Structure 1
Amino acid sequence: MPAQSAHSFRFRSTVAAALCTVALFALSSRASAKDELTVSAAASLTNAFNDIARDYEARHPGTHVNLNFAASDVLLKQIEQGAPADVFASADEATMDRAAGAGRIDASSRKDFAANTLVLIVPDANAAVPTKLDDLSQATYKRIAIGNPDSVPAGRYAKQALAAAKLWESLQAKLVQAQNVRQALDYVVRGEAEAGFVYASDAASQATKVKVALTVPTATPVRYPAAAVGSCKEKPVACEFVQFLLDAQSRATLSRYGFSAPTP
């Protein structure tokens, strides 16, 4: 082969190899972006979603699930401000309705995947246990933990229940507001509050440290919806994760942590 032709062949081979490397890198980058999933979920879902995320990753090798937990309203605010999120799971329908109204979710992907119950808890060591909401007026209960009703669904449910019992105004001085339902739980666990409003699933997570005094009726059922943020076309894996929440394995996990199946 003439020297010029050999040089030309080597040059073309080098260029081709470089282009292949660039193409493979681009494909790898796109795959990585597709396989990275950020799930913003209500604080009460912490334990269950840690397990569900591991189960999802095991079933979808190469996919990594990042979890972000906070009060539902706080999560929606983060999404509205551009924080990364592919899936949003809230602790009430109202917050998801606002997300849908603002065009933040793919409404077609929205699914109710779990239900819960609001309960009143006290420290396990407490001898006194309230048998009705009116008992919270007693001097025994100096501090009552409650999620901030302005941002925490559990707090809104509790406020509605106290208002219906005509106790909301009279108990104001006793209420200790928490940033999320898990913080309300911690206040009771640490003995910093003599009672607190949390979900049954939260109480179950600290069954040796708190006891359920009573189940609190709510005006609307406590249901958990999830949806893909943005569009399923943009990130199909987000919709796949929402569907996975309805899977038998996920339902078993949710049940193990004190959640129930949502009713129509």
Structure 2
Amino acid sequence: MKTPFLSRILLTLACVGLLAAPAKAAEMTISGAASLTNAFTELKGLFEKQHPGLTAHVNFAASNPLLKQIQEGAPVDVFASADQATMDKAVASKVVDPATRRDFALNDLVLIVPAGGKKPADLADLKNFKRIAVGNPDSVPAGRYAREALTTAKLWDVLQPQVIQGASVRQVLDYVARGEVDAGFVYGTDAKQQAAKVDVVMVVPGHTPVLYPIAVATTGKNPKMGQAFLDFVLSPEGQAVLSRYGFSKP
């Protein structure tokens, strides 16, 4: 049988133990378009330093697959797309808070070839190239921009026998960098990451602006940190990081 004195000691020790137990670390998840991989990886590290104890998980892929994950209930706190159409779908399916939606970066669609490789004189000259990599327009925004540009130039249907589709803009970049294709359509920021292995032929005209939106997702458990990260991306510090990776302000 415990004495009152012993009971007080045990209670005191229990309280001390509770106080000494580390608080559960806060977590959040950021889903971003593949072309944001390098910039957002740096941004998430800086953001974690500003919020000690926070672990920010990052998930990169083509915008449409990311949206599908969120629609299926993936716990995401921030969603950043490479195009407006995908974010429109996110708003329509109520997986992001429309009041938090902001445009945060601009990019260029560029035509690239393997470093030192043959360069087309213009888009029409692509008819003389055997393998041309393009992101799958059904899931990759860069592919949709490329399709729009080639359709404007009346080349999309003509080039179909030569087109090799990639699952993301980064896969298209890898195809070109490894010399597995003769040319490819990627973002200017992607080409910058492989400047030693690819040559930029031109900034591609004839498509809608490559404007990136971001919003707080509704499937996550940390919307407060989601909003804080969104604000950080839009801040002068966040915009400076994006600029270093080749993005421009909207």
TM-score by length of 1: 0.88
Q: Which residue of 2 aligns with 1:14?
A: 10
Could you tell me whether the CA contact under 8 Å between 1:113 and 1:246 is conserved in 2? Answer: yes
Letter of the 1:41 counterpart: G
- Once residues 241 and 132 of structure 1 are traced to their aligned partners in structure 2, the CA distance between those partners, rounded to angstroms, is 41
**Pick from 55, 58, 65: which aligns with 2:49?**
58
SS at match of 2:86: helix
**Pick from 56, 60, 64: which aligns with 1:73?**
64
**Pick from 101, 112, 129: which aligns with 2:92?**
101
- Once residues 16 and 102 of structure 2 are traced to their aligned partners in structure 1, the CA distance between those partners, rounded to angstroms, is 42
Could you tell me whether the CA contact under 8 Å between 2:75 and 2:221 is conserved in 1? Answer: no
Change (3 A) 1:231 1:178: closer
**Pick from 173, 181, 206: which aligns with 2:169?**
181
Is residue 2:141 matched to residue 1:153? yes
Q: Which residue of 2 aligns with 1:28?
A: 23
The alpha-carbon deviation at position 208 of structure 1 amounts to 1.4
The alpha-carbon deviation at position 57 of structure 1 amounts to 1.3
Change (3 A) 1:258 1:58: same
**Pick from 100, 125, 130: which aligns with 2:116?**
125
- Once residues 243 and 93 of structure 1 are traced to their aligned partners in structure 2, the CA distance between those partners, rounded to angstroms, is 19
Instruction: Compute the RMSD of aligned alpha carbons.
Output: 2.1
SS at match of 1:156: helix
Could you tell me whether the CA contact under 8 Å between 2:75 and 2:219 is conserved in 1? Answer: no
Q: Which residue of 1 aligns with 2:73?
A: 82
> CA offsets, 1:10-69, max 9 Å, x none?
3255346536755875x823xx2xx21211110001111111111111222221211111
Could you tell me whether the CA contact under 8 Å between 2:28 and 2:220 is conserved in 1? Answer: no
Q: Which residue of 1 aligns with 2:185?
A: 197
Is residue 2:29 matched to residue 1:38? yes
Could you tell me whether the CA contact under 8 Å between 2:28 and 2:222 is conserved in 1? Answer: no
Q: Which residue of 1 aligns with 2:241?
A: 253
SS at match of 2:156: coil
SS at match of 1:160: helix
The alpha-carbon deviation at position 235 of structure 1 amounts to 2.5
SS at match of 1:241: helix
The alpha-carbon deviation at position 175 of structure 1 amounts to 0.5
- Once residues 177 and 124 of structure 1 are traced to their aligned partners in structure 2, the CA distance between those partners, rounded to angstroms, is 21
> CA offsets, 1:65-124, max 9 Å, x none?
111110000100111112221111110111111111111011122111111010111111
Could you tell me whether the CA contact under 8 Å between 1:118 and 1:218 is conserved in 2? Answer: no
> CA offsets, 1:128-171, max 9 Å, x none?
31132101011xx1100100000000000101111111111111
Q: Which residue of 2 aligns with 1:142?
A: 130
Gaps of 5+ in 2: none
More divergent stretch after superposition (147-156 vs 63-72) = 63-72
The alpha-carbon deviation at position 125 of structure 1 amounts to 1.5
Is residue 2:102 matched to residue 1:114? no
TM-score by length of 2: 0.93
Letter of the 2:23 counterpart: S
Letter of the 1:28 counterpart: A
Gaps of 5+ in 1: none
For this pair of structures, how many residues does the alignment match? 250
